[in-house]
Amino acid sequence: MANQSEEQNQEQQQRPIVMVHRLPTFSFSFANRLKTHYHLFDPLDSPDLIDLHRDSVRAIFCVGPSPVTSELIARYPCLEIIVGSSAGVDHIDLRECRRRGIAVTNAGNAFSEAAAEYAVGLLIDALRRVSAGDRFVRAGLWPKAGEYPLGFKLGGKRVGIVGLGSIGSEVANRLAAFGCSIAYNSRKKKPSVPYPYYAKVCDLAVNSDVLVVCCALADETHHIINKDVMTALGKEGVIINVGRGKLVDEKELVQFLVRGEIGGAGLDVFENEPYVPKELFTMDNVVLSPHRAVLTQESFEAIQEVVVANLEAFFANKPLVSPVQNE
Q: Under 8 Å CB-to-CB from 229, ≥6 apart: which residues? A: 201, 202, 205, 211
C-alpha–C-alpha distance, residues 310 and 70, integer Å: 22
C-alpha–C-alpha distance, residues 325 and 284, integer Å: 39
For 173, the 3-state DSSP assignment is helix
Nearer of residues 19 and 87 to a second copy, judged by Cβ: 87
Tell me how far the alpha carbon of residue 171 is from its chain's centroid. Answer: 13
Catalytic residue among 273, 279, 292, 301: 273
Nearer of residues 81 and 165 to a second copy, judged by Cβ: 165
Name the segment binding a second copy (CB under 8 A); options: 101-109, 177-185, 201-209, 315-323. Answer: 177-185
Residue 155 interacts with a second copy (CB under 8 A): yes or no: yes
Taking the CA atoms of 42, 48, 50 and 55 in sequence, report the sign of the dihedral they define. Answer: negative
**Whole-number minimum distance, CB 280 to a second copy, in Å?**
8
Q: Would you call 279 a catalytic residue per the annotation?
A: no
**Whole-number minimum distance, CB 171 to a second copy, in Å?**
11
Residue 135 interacts with a second copy (CB under 8 A): yes or no: yes
Residue 195 interacts with a second copy (CB under 8 A): yes or no: no
**Helix or strand holding residue 169 (H, E):** helix 166-176
C-alpha–C-alpha distance, residues 139 and 131, integer Å: 12
C-alpha–C-alpha distance, residues 324 and 81, integer Å: 11
For 280, the 3-state DSSP assignment is helix
Q: Would you call 75 a catalytic residue per the annotation?
A: no
Q: Would you call 291 a catalytic residue per the annotation?
A: yes
Catalytic residue among 158, 271, 291, 312: 291
89 to 128, contacts with a second copy by CB under 8 A? 113-114, 117-118, 120-122, 124-125, 128
Catalytic residue among 22, 39, 244, 252: 244
3-state secondary structure 214-267: CCCCCHHHCCCECHHHHHHHCCCCEEEECCCHHHECHHHHHHHHHCCCCCEEEE
**Whole-number minimum distance, CB 144 to a second copy, in Å?**
9
Residue 260 interacts with a second copy (CB under 8 A): yes or no: no
Nearer of residues 226 and 296 to a second copy, judged by Cβ: 296
Which residue from 131, 210, 128 is spatially nearest to 172, judged by alpha carbons? 210
263 to 302, contacts with a second copy by CB under 8 A? 273-276, 281, 287-290, 292, 295-299
Residue 235 interacts with a second copy (CB under 8 A): yes or no: no
**Whole-number minimum distance, CB 140 to a second copy, in Å?**
8
What residues make contact with a second copy under the rule CB under 8 A?
A: 113-114, 117-118, 120-122, 124-125, 128-131, 133-138, 140, 142-143, 146-148, 150-156, 173-174, 176-179, 273-276, 281, 287-290, 292, 295-299
Q: Which residues are catalytic?
A: 244, 273, 291
